[in-house]
Chain A
Amino acid sequence: MPLSWYLVFGALLFMIGVVGVLTRRNVIIVLMSIELMLNAVNVTLISFSHYLQDLRGQIFTLFIIAVAASEAAIGLALVISMYRGKSTFNLDEVNVLKW
């Protein structure tokens, strides 16, 4: 199976994640879209690792998964904190740093 199929799969997944981050107001769905984008990058790295027979792509993916897990933990803690403080889920209502 050609390499470009996996790359197109990764690109489409990344694109869907970008659309989710840019268009949704619900902060939990934005976090889910970020996870989708990280998964797309992992697919690309692992397909290159397979087709170039180089283990480094898989090691890199392992570290990306670790960082993604901590990012999800911190992000969801922020969501809970934001909900307690402002009683909202919507990103465009949290704009105290914007002028």
Chain B
Amino acid sequence: MVFFFLLFAIVGLASAVMVVTRKNVMHAALFLLLTFACVGATYVMLRAEVLAAVQVLVYAGAVMVLFLFAILLVNMPEAVRLRQWTRQSTVAVVLAGLTGLWLIIATVRAFTGFAAPPEAATQPLGTPRAIGEALFSDYVLPFEIASLILLAAMVGAIVLARETAREEERPDEALTDLPPDTQEDQQPV
């Protein structure tokens, strides 16, 4: 168990570092896929099998396909040769490192020796039945709000894509709808 946790944690963290440091966006996306898989494996070790399935379906499936489509649509090979880092990189790394160090120290001090209750190993908590019953009884309002958010995201994505499409059509309209004073050749004086 400890071996598998260390394996998934180290592979996940290493591929997360690769996501942040790669120049090629496609390589970063594929390393992100590996990170998602490792995070899903830790969900399985925490006995959240439903969430692991959702992680693989939504993150490694849907979100990843979205990223790959976006990368292919706006493919810019010369982007690899551009400067990759902002000018505040050093300050940002130092600040994020200090924050992470503080977070790690705080959690280790607060939760060392915090063991799972004995029934955690025998009966899994997040069975599909339990999650479904909770979603459709106590959490039915957040569930509906989540569906509204997804609808709004869908409409928003379509609107953002359509707006640019209309801008591309505009030159054609300008050619057909010429103002009358420019059509001098058709009106002999």
B-binding residues in A (CB < 8 A): 1-9, 11-20, 22-26, 28-29, 31-33, 35-36, 39, 42-43, 46-47, 49-51, 53-55, 58-59, 61-63, 65-74, 76-81, 83-85, 89-92
**30 pairs of residues in contact across A and B, judged by CB atoms under 8 Å:** A4-B112, A8-B108, A11-B104, A13-B35, A13-B39, A14-B103, A15-B97, A16-B19, A17-B20, A19-B20, A22-B93, A28-B67, A29-B20, A33-B19, A35-B32, A43-B39, A46-B42, A46-B51, A55-B125, A59-B135, A62-B51, A62-B54, A62-B135, A65-B54, A65-B59, A66-B58, A76-B69, A76-B70, A80-B160, A89-B79
A-binding residues in B (CB < 8 A): 1-2, 5, 9, 12-13, 16-17, 19-20, 22, 25, 28-29, 32, 35-36, 39, 42-43, 45-48, 50-51, 54-55, 58-59, 62-63, 66-67, 69-71, 73-74, 76, 79, 82-86, 88-89, 92-93, 95-97, 99-100, 103-104, 107-108, 111-117, 119-120, 125-126, 130-131, 134-135, 139, 142, 146, 149-150, 152-154, 156-157, 160-161, 163-164, 167-168
Instruction: Pick the residue among A22, A61, A79 that contacts B86 (CB under 8 A).
Output: A22
Q: A29-B20, A50-B48, A74-B153 are in contact. List 5 more A-B contacts (CB 8 A).
A: A3-B115, A16-B17, A78-B160, A80-B70, A85-B164
* Cβ B5 vs Cβ A5 within 8 A: yes
Cβ of B25: which chain A residues have Cβ within 8 Å of it? 26, 28-29
Query: Closest CB-CB distance, B12 to chain A, in whole Å?
Result: 7
* Cβ B29 vs Cβ A32 within 8 A: yes
Q: CA A5 – CA B2 in complex, angstroms?
A: 10
* Cβ A9 vs Cβ B9 within 8 A: yes
Q: CA A20 – CA B51 in complex, angstroms?
A: 25
Q: B interface, by DSSP: helix, strand, loop or mixed? A: helix
* Cβ A73 vs Cβ B157 within 8 A: yes
Cβ of B42: which chain A residues have Cβ within 8 Å of it? 6, 9, 43, 46
Tell me the number of A-to-B contacts counted with CB atoms below 8 Å. 255
Q: CA A92 – CA B114 in complex, angstroms?
A: 44
* Cβ B107 vs Cβ A4 within 8 A: yes
* Cβ B32 vs Cβ A36 within 8 A: yes
Q: CA A22 – CA B46 in complex, angstroms?
A: 31
Query: Closest CB-CB distance, B21 to chain A, in whole Å?
Result: 9
Given known contacts A32-B67, A62-B131, A76-B66, is B115 in contact with A2 (CB within 8 Å)?
Answer: yes
Given known contacts A4-B114, A6-B42, A6-B46, is B73 in contact with A58 (CB within 8 Å)?
Answer: no
